[in-house]
Amino acid sequence: MKIKFLLLSIFVGSLVFAAPQKFNVLFISADDMNCDLGVYGHPQVKTPNLDRLAKRGVVFERAYCQQSLCGPSRASVMTGMRPEEIGILSNKNDLRVKNPKVVTLGQAYRQNGYFSARAGKIYHYGNPSMIGSDGHDDPQTWDEKYNPIGIDRSQQENITRYGRGREKDKNLGISMAWWDPVSKDQDHTDGKVASKIIDLIEQKKDEPFFLAAGFFNPHCPYVAPKKYFDLYPLEDIEMQDLDEAKRDLEDVPKIALNRDLNHWPYYFADISVEQARKCKQAYFATQSFVDAQVGRLLDALEENDLSDSTIIVFWSDHGYFLGEKGLWYKRKAFERSVRVPLIISVPGMSKGERFSKPVELLDLYPTLMDLCGISTPSTLSGKSLRPVLESPQKNKWKKPAVTLVWYGESAWGYTLRNERYRYIEWMEGKEGKELYDHSMDPEEVTNLAGNSTFSEITALLSKQLESYVPQAPHFRNP
């Protein structure tokens, strides 16, 4: 009897003192991807692999970036702080110059015994000009990093470009441009990014890892194998009527459209509706191309028996306009520009759930630290989403999402999103305000900020926003 008791004690003791399992993390980002995705209910865009990921995790219906521009958004995600807190308000490469002691997300994993590596774009890159280089990377984040380069970068002479005077423009980072080669996925940069991460999954499957797959699509120029273009017949691509689009902008403060009205519609001079339609088709194609690469990564986890030990995060740095209101690109305060796709899958937690309250990309860093049992740096400004991932329908999450839109020292604004409203102040309200009721106006057509019926809610949201706006001097070393 004593022997049985001793054996039982040893067994129980081993359960109590055994080191907890370390989750791996597969951190997948897309560049300039909005929520026009099948997994978010879009009737055209095909995303079977994001649908597949959604079945094993939680889809965040209202996730928002902290600035609708690549560099600041990505720096915010990787530091867990707001762009204005770290002084990163543009696409310049000065994260470590301004924040030499910051501990980035991948760096935190390195410090806790993880192998940390990336392939492709996680921090800002000039896309496509910096493909194949380190871009604006942070070396302290990674043990290893890889910079694949595909035909989308090496054969740019084949890309069709639209807009007066831009036929031979080499700057395709802001462009209405596309190419649909008959090619293999692995001929393209994003295909090579996926292949490299798959290699690393196989090499590092027996040790804890933080692997970041940074896809460059659907950022312009919109380049993907022809088979993805074929998913979207051009005649099925719808564009908003331009007279209607112009009316949508009549009650919007001029500062809100800082650079978009110079050659309205579609940003560049002399872009036709049919050319915009072609670019929208190409954008959809690149979304499905990224989705296919996500599928390859999910397959690799399954083939290496890592699905039950790996947290998967899929996110994009900001949203994107595709002709709505006659607008194109990002860098605006509207819902379509600041809302992002976000899906998180955690072994043993909620599956096939959707969460409709606002969350921020800022919340990713503390969430992953929490899930992996790593001490969270005191500097982080977000909040762990673990309670949501454990029980999406029963939590008491109430935090709003706040986004900065920065055009320069004399042109900036903040927007706050709660469950029902989007509220925007330009230059602390001195240059205009916007209020949209998403319960009846999801496309943000009618600005209610000047409507006396909504004066009380406008004042309340302004008060809530006040605590997020830095006091003068407004921004640290912009």
pLDDT of residue 475: 58
| pLDDT band, residue 165 (cuts 50/70/90) | low
Tell me the average pLDDT of the chain.
Answer: 93
Residue with more model confidence, 259 or 39: 39
The pTM assigned to this predicted structure is: 0.94
**With 60 as the cut, is the pLDDT of residue 38 above it?**
yes
**With 50 as the cut, is the pLDDT of residue 13 above it?**
no
First to last CA, the chain: 73
Query: For the residues 10-17, what does the mean pLDDT come to?
Result: 40
CATH number of 401-466: 3.30.1120
Query: For the residues 115-133, what does the mean pLDDT come to?
Result: 95
CATH number of 21-390: 3.40.720.10
Positions marked catalytic:
70, 124
Report the percentage of the chain scoring pLDDT > 70: 93
**With 80 as the cut, is the pLDDT of residue 459 above it?**
yes
> Which of 233, 444, 423 minimizes the C-alpha distance to 325?
444
**With 70 as the cut, is the pLDDT of residue 472 above it?**
no
Residue with more model confidence, 471 or 257: 257
Query: For the residues 221-236, what does the mean pLDDT come to?
Result: 98
The DSSP secondary-structure symbol of 375 reads: P
pLDDT of residue 258: 86
Query: For the residues 6-11, what does the mean pLDDT come to?
Result: 40
Q: For residues 316 and 318, what is the distance between their CA atoms, to the nearest angstrom? A: 6
Query: For the residues 131-148, what does the mean pLDDT come to?
Result: 96
Amino acid at 188: H
Kindly list the domain boundaries of the chain, sorted by start residue. Answer: 21-390, 401-466
| pLDDT band, residue 98 (cuts 50/70/90) | very high
Query: For the residues 190-214, what does the mean pLDDT come to?
Result: 98
Query: For the residues 391-411, what does the mean pLDDT come to?
Result: 92
pLDDT of residue 471: 55
pLDDT of residue 187: 98
Would you say the CATH fold of 401-466 matches that of 21-390?
no
Q: List the single range of 280-284, 403-407, 469-473 with lowest mean pLDDT.
A: 469-473
Q: For residues 411 and 419, what is the distance between their CA atoms, to the nearest angstrom? A: 27
**With 70 as the cut, is the pLDDT of residue 6 above it?**
no
**With 80 as the cut, is the pLDDT of residue 385 above it?**
yes
Q: For residues 186 and 197, what is the distance between their CA atoms, to the nearest angstrom? A: 13
**With 70 as the cut, is the pLDDT of residue 70 above it?**
yes
> What is the Cβ-side half-sphere exposure of residue 187, based on CA atoms within 13 angstroms?
13
Q: List the single range of 36-40, 161-165, 172-176, 250-254 with lowest mean pLDDT.
A: 161-165
Q: For residues 313 and 350, what is the distance between their CA atoms, to the nearest angstrom? A: 14
pLDDT of residue 21: 64
The DSSP secondary-structure symbol of 20 reads: P
> At how many degrees (to 10) do helices 364-371 and 70-79 cross?
30
What is the side-by-side order of every strand in the sheet holding 339-340? 339-340, 63-64, 359-360
Chain segment 312-341, per-residue pLDDT in tens: 999 999 999 999 999 999 999 999 999 999
